[in-house]
Amino acid sequence: MSRLIDNIADFLAENGFELSFQIRHDFDVIVTRTLDGRHIKVILPLEISAGTIEEAEAESENAEYAIRMITREAGYPLIITEDRWRSQRQMMEARLLAHLELFSQAYARNCEVRRIEKAEAQEFLNRNHSYGYAACKYRYGLFLKRHTGHIAAEMGFPIRSGTTNGEPGTTNGKVEVPDEKVGRTSSPVILNEVKNLSEGTLIAVATFSNARRWVKEGKEIRSYEWTRYASLPDLRVSGGMGKMLKAFIKEVKPDDIMSYADLEWSEGEVYERLGFEAETRKEPVTFTIDPQTWERKAIRRSPVKPGMTEEKPGMTEEKPGMTEEKPGMTEEKPGMAEEKPGMTEEKPGMTEGDNVIPDLIGDLFFRNFGSRKFRLKLTDYK
């Protein structure tokens, strides 16, 4: 059993969740249920051990296959990579509990949207977004106005175990799993209330790029990228993304908004609920991982697979390469193109096909699972 999976399991047990260990498609996973016991959740811990780019690509392909199979069986798994768990432990623990329905609740109707300065957005995103702050032009904050909800002081669910009936991907026909009543034990839980947050607290941030322009049938189209969104990790803001999107549309009046869902986190269903349509899948990105700090840095593009495009993700998990807006900076002129998102500068001695990069000897490598591109058309064009 890996150290990472043990760490995650210990954390869940400390918070009252019963769980089971399984092998799904050659990967060790944790299976548990949500707080109310209604839904099975599969947690996929991914240790990072690849010493070369090729090893990272092979491990990524194996993990991608397992993710597809698990998704068919039990929905998209919660993927926890070792570098995130080691370097952003507090944020990842809060996200894990929120994934299992243990979170505080806020409602967008009880919040207000305001433009915020770079420093405020940067500080919030560096703490609460897995990739931190990224250059942008428009920055919005969601501020709490008032508290609503109720306190469920004690939510206890019976803890029992059940068995599967030859479930695909399990090690045998009878694997111990939590049954439909399993949730938490009897730890105090506060739900549907914003806990320890005062009115006026910044609880979410959304950022958008400058316009990218092109001409269609004689009409100029202004397209913007939704580059970042994050809320406090242990807080679920019902309607928060939609409220901030509406504020941006009302102020800027874009013709088109595009964004990316990093497949390390989700398949992007939230965008579809907001009216976006899925377009293409973007290529995976290869990172170097410092085994001491667990810091992740994109180093190059992975080889493009059939049907995949060269553009890199920009919203959820990749930093756009555009420049930050400066005081007095004017809107782009028609026909000007922004830099492609996610572009990083090559390091000395690094070539596209190198197996070992001289500057990075001793580092580990990880390749993510790419992203899905989504687009919201607000103007009719082809």
Express each pLDDT in 237-266 by its tens digit: 999 999 999 999 999 999 999 999 999 988
Whether 25 has a pLDDT exceeding 80, the answer reads yes
Q: Which amino acid is at 209?
A: S
CA separation for the pair 11, 14 (Å, rounded): 5
| Residue 198 pLDDT grade (very low, low, confident, very high; cuts 50, 70, 90) | confident
Give the pLDDT of residue 310.
37
Section 80-101 average pLDDT = 93
| Residue 216 pLDDT grade (very low, low, confident, very high; cuts 50, 70, 90) | confident
Section 355-375 average pLDDT = 80
- Dihedral of CA 56/62/68/74: which sign? negative
- CB-CB neighbours of 115 under 10 Å: 12
CA separation for the pair 33, 37 (Å, rounded): 5
Q: Write down all domains in the chain, each with its CATH number in brackets.
A: 1-102+156-184 (3.40.1350)
Note the pTM of the prediction, 2 decimals.
0.74
